[in-house]
Amino acid sequence: MSTMSELRQRYSGLQARGLKLDMSRGKPSPTQLDLSAGLLDIPSGPLSLYDDPDGSKTDMRNYGGLAGIKPMRGLAADFLEVDPDEVIVGGNSSLSMMYDTINFALHFGVPGGTGPWGKIPSARFLCVVPGYDRHFAICEEFGISMINVGMDESGPLMDDVEKLVSDEKVVGMWIVPRYSNPSGQVFSDEVICRLASMQTGTDFRLFCDDAYRVHHLTKSPRKQKNMFEAFQQEGNLDKLLLFASTSKITHAGAGVGMMAASERNLEWYLKHKGYSTIGPDKINQLRHYIFLRSMDRIHALMDQHADLLLPKFQAVQTVLDRELGSSDLATWSRPEGGYFVSLDTKPRLAGKVVALAAEAGVKLTPAGATFPYGADPNDSNIRIAPSFPSVEEIEQAMEVLAVCIMLATAGQTG
Amino acid sequence: MSTMSELRQRYSGLQARGLKLDMSRGKPSPTQLDLSAGLLDIPSGPLSLYDDPDGSKTDMRNYGGLAGIKPMRGLAADFLEVDPDEVIVGGNSSLSMMYDTINFALHFGVPGGTGPWGKIPSARFLCVVPGYDRHFAICEEFGISMINVGMDESGPLMDDVEKLVSDEKVVGMWIVPRYSNPSGQVFSDEVICRLASMQTGTDFRLFCDDAYRVHHLTKSPRKQKNMFEAFQQEGNLDKLLLFASTSKITHAGAGVGMMAASERNLEWYLKHKGYSTIGPDKINQLRHYIFLRSMDRIHALMDQHADLLLPKFQAVQTVLDRELGSSDLATWSRPEGGYFVSLDTKPRLAGKVVALAAEAGVKLTPAGATFPYGADPNDSNIRIAPSFPSVEEIEQAMEVLAVCIMLATAGQTG
């Protein structure tokens, strides 16, 4: 063994080399990663496999990058009209970001809140109805009670909302602000301002699923107030969680989810998310960035989607108009975007109509699915999803639907 | 309006057409998905974009397929040596499958268990030490207490394990059965048999992270008893959850996670997982299937990894042998696979050594990281991760480490 002074000397010599090595994590080397080059087939372009958020040259193929890659966060910021620091991009599902947020809130509480939601007796959510079944299902799974709030053509009935959210037990509310699922409303600027300024408890979070933000069926989409800015101006940004994804822009099952929120909320989210994963699939984010690149390209792509969707939505209207237009048997939406037509039969008939249609070989969304607990108090709402079938199939199905409505109504009154 | 009998007739006519349409979900049509064809650049092959698990022609680009695509499940089954029905494939992180499982257990309890783990006072996990910090971090995040269990060269000290798991409050245990992180043990067949047959409460689940299953550094890897079969033979399959991923086979951040378990456990997992997502990224699963295809190809790829990793692991040994081999200042592992070398200093020195190394520009895994709560009772374990740096960098870093060990030991005794 060397003497103490020899060691000190040697150590000083090593110090003097000024090394900067990271031996701390078990990460494969770039050469190892090159072995799988065949897995990757991104069109070559100006963007390399390296992201450079902080000069650290993150390798897109390796671990890390919990908040997502810089170029895709930039595009998501343009998409949601927020700053890049105010948005993170994740895996293939924005639903899972919503689920995670509620799960974290149940275990740990939200920033500035009263504590874990799981310990708040009878914590509850407001649910604008009709709405999206997967939102309501998360609450039901976790035992969070749900309160229905109705809508008119401007969005949720804000007098009711304002009264209900003043209860501190109301910790959240689900909305789809543009082309609402299923009824197609574009929330008015007044509704957005009232949402942004309403009085709530400190736990409250507005879960804003902006799933159809650019999914127009018209060449001149209605302008809508920037919700993020509205909350910011009111000093209520911590109350807003804004979600979206590319699922209905690129590939439904292999897109990129995104979430915009206050810095405080994002920090909180990432802190807890970091226990479940080292990071999202950055290669898929890169692929999306290269493919989409700019809002101009996204809008051009969405125009192509609209060209395909419009004849289908028109087919729904044409057949329903022809079959039911001169009667009072049903009312239905004429959406300017989104993915659904919402139809209301007379009370207590939707279940019967759906069952009749099923027996005629037409599977519709189960009656009640658009309401919490699958329970439509009027049993009248039916969600029509025309995007997948062909125009001819839609025409046939709508005819079946119209006839079932007529039949069920007649059966009830006759 | 038509009369009742006219309607019935018309309805019968529609029924007679024998239609089979699905109007129930808002899914984009195949033609819409084609718009994004440029996003996709999978080498053409015998496999199309359609999976056929049940004759339903699942479109890989669209929503759905919570359990993963059939061909990748088949490959995962070969990989884990289980039946395809006994394995599911997910997103890019097996860690998140482990996290999800514990989260679901906390909220809802496990099949056959006593109820939600979150309601079991002082529920606890056994942690084989030294171990993987991200495993322990999940328990710490959720407030699940952890009990350390030591290891010898055959794996965990089974006398201790058997005594501890007989306590019904012990709901789980973390293991890495092959090339254990960080100390490199390959669990012996006897250990595997004793794990499979040990007496536990009904809540108990063994979280088996088989992260380095095929990550050999030798041409003649040791054979190991099939853990899944061992649990099956003992009638204890519900107690085993087996995780792995392609992260250190293809691209670390963009791989495919997998989980094998009893049918009952998988059903339970998927039921709860279905609230957080519509499905994993099937395109990435397909891409992986096309690239990896068979166990022969996986082993050939892993041989290439080994060719790159072996000189790095040898460099660690060479320098440590040269610097410390003739002394009793440290002991370290000589792993036959995996990603780490585990080194033990004399007691109460690891923290000092790591700090000294940091000051000399060598960042090591923080001392204590390989133990629950970051607390190594002996303050002696240091994890060395040689995969990322170059051989030359490793040689320099190991020299620094060795010198720091010598220095710290001398400082303590001198």
b or e along A103-134 (b: 16 or more beta carbons within 10 Å of the residue's beta carbon)? bbbbbbbbbebeebbbebeebbbbbbbbbbbb
Same domain for A393 and A268: no
- Check if the beta carbon of residue B94 is closer than 8 Å to that of residue B280: no
**Contact state of B23 with A93 under an 8 Å Cβ cutoff:** no
Same domain for A121 and A181: yes
Q: Quote the Cα angle for B396-B401-B403, to 5°.
A: 95
Per-window interface: B 252-281 vs A, CB < 8 A = 252-254, 272, 275-281
Same domain for A327 and A384: yes
Residues in A closer than 8 angstroms to B181, CB to CB, are: 26
Same domain for A270 and A390: no
Secondary structure of residue A329 in the 3-state scheme: coil
Quote the pTM value.
Answer: 0.93
Q: Parallel, antiparallel, or unpaired for β B21-23 and A87-89?
A: unpaired
Query: B395 is in which domain, residue-wise?
Result: 298-413
For residue B287, the model assigns a pLDDT of 83
pLDDT at A53 over 80: no
Secondary structure of residue B408 in the 3-state scheme: helix
For residue A283, the model assigns a pLDDT of 86
Residue with tokens 């107030």: A225
Report DSSP letters for B265-332, one per residue: HHHHHHHHHTTT-S---HHHHHHHHHHH-SHHHHHHHHHHHHHHHHHHHHHHHHHHHHHHTTSSSEEE
Q: Does B384 touch chain A (CB under 8 A)?
A: yes
How many CA atoms within 13 Å lie on the side-chain side of A82?
Answer: 27
Same domain for B302 and B272: no
pLDDT at A38 over 70: no
Secondary structure of residue A23 in the 3-state scheme: strand
Per-window interface: B 204-243 vs A, CB < 8 A = none
Interface mutation vs chain A, best among B1, B23, B58, B101, most A CBs within 10 Å = B23
Same domain for A264 and A227: yes
Q: Is residue B1 part of a domain?
A: no
Number of domains in chain A: 2
pLDDT at A372 over 50: yes
Q: Is residue B20 part of a domain?
A: no
Shortest CA gap B386–chain A (Å): 7
Same domain for B315 and B222: no
Question: Left if phi > 0, otherwise alpha if psi is -120 to 50, otherwise beta: which for B336?
Answer: alpha
What's the rounded mean pLDDT across residues A382-407?
91
What's the rounded mean pLDDT across residues A282-311?
89
Rounded distance between C-alpha atoms, residue A51 and residue A70, angstroms = 7
Pick from A26-30, A73-77, B368-372: least confident: A26-30
Q: Quote the Cα angle for B365-B367-B373, to 5°.
A: 105
Same domain for B323 and B248: no
Rounded distance between C-alpha atoms, residue B245 and residue B207, angstroms = 14
Q: What amino acid is encoded at B413 in this protein?
A: T
What's the rounded mean pLDDT across residues A129-157?
97
Q: Where among A260, A293, A326 does a domain terminate?
A: A293
Secondary structure of residue A271 in the 3-state scheme: helix
What's the rounded mean pLDDT across residues A13-18?
78
Q: Is residue A237 part of a domain?
A: yes
For residue B16, the model assigns a pLDDT of 82
Q: Is residue A3 part of a domain?
A: no
Q: Where among A261, A277, A293 does a domain terminate?
A: A293
ipTM of predicted complex: 0.92
Shortest CA gap B235–chain A (Å): 30
Same domain for A385 and A273: no
Q: Using CA coordinates, name the residue in chain B closest to A359.
A: B15
Q: Does B355 touch chain A (CB under 8 A)?
A: no
What's the rounded mean pLDDT across residues A13-38?
64
Least Cα distance to A72 among A250, A208, A306, A265 occurs for A250
What's the rounded mean pLDDT across residues A290-316?
91
Q: What is the pLDDT of residues A240-249, one digit of tens each?
A: 999 999 988 8
For residue A411, the model assigns a pLDDT of 83
Same domain for B323 and B268: no
- Check if the beta carbon of residue A184 is closer than 8 Å to that of residue A333: yes
What's the rounded mean pLDDT across residues A333-341?
95
- To the nearest 10°, report the CA torsion of B92, B94, B98, B101: 60
What's the rounded mean pLDDT across residues A315-340?
96
- Check if the beta carbon of residue A303 is closer than 8 Å to that of residue A72: no
Same domain for A348 and A251: no
For residue B2, the model assigns a pLDDT of 59
pLDDT at A15 over 80: no
Interface mutation vs chain A, best among B276, B393, B400, most A CBs within 10 Å = B276
Q: Quote the Cα angle for B261-B262-B267, to 5°.
A: 95
Q: What is the pLDDT of residues A158-216, one digit of tens each?
A: 999 999 999 999 999 999 999 999 999 999 999 999 999 999 999 999 999 999 999 99
Q: Which CATH number is B326's domain given?
A: 3.90.1150.10
For residue A29, the model assigns a pLDDT of 61
Residues in A closer than 8 angstroms to B19, CB to CB, are: 360-362, 396-397, 400
- Could you tell me what percent of chain A has a pLDDT over 90? 71
**Below-70 pLDDT ranges, chain B:** 1-2, 21-57, 413-414
Q: Compute the mean pLDDT over every residue in chain A, rounded to the nearest whole number.
A: 90
Shortest CA gap A410–chain B (Å): 7
Q: Using CA coordinates, name the residue in chain B closest to A326.
A: B1
pLDDT band at A44 (very low <50, low <70, confident <90, very high): very low
**Contact state of B277 with A31 under an 8 Å Cβ cutoff:** no
Q: Where among B293, B309, B326 does a domain terminate?
A: B293
For residue B104, the model assigns a pLDDT of 98
Q: What is the pLDDT of residues A266-280, one digit of tens each?
A: 999 999 999 999 999
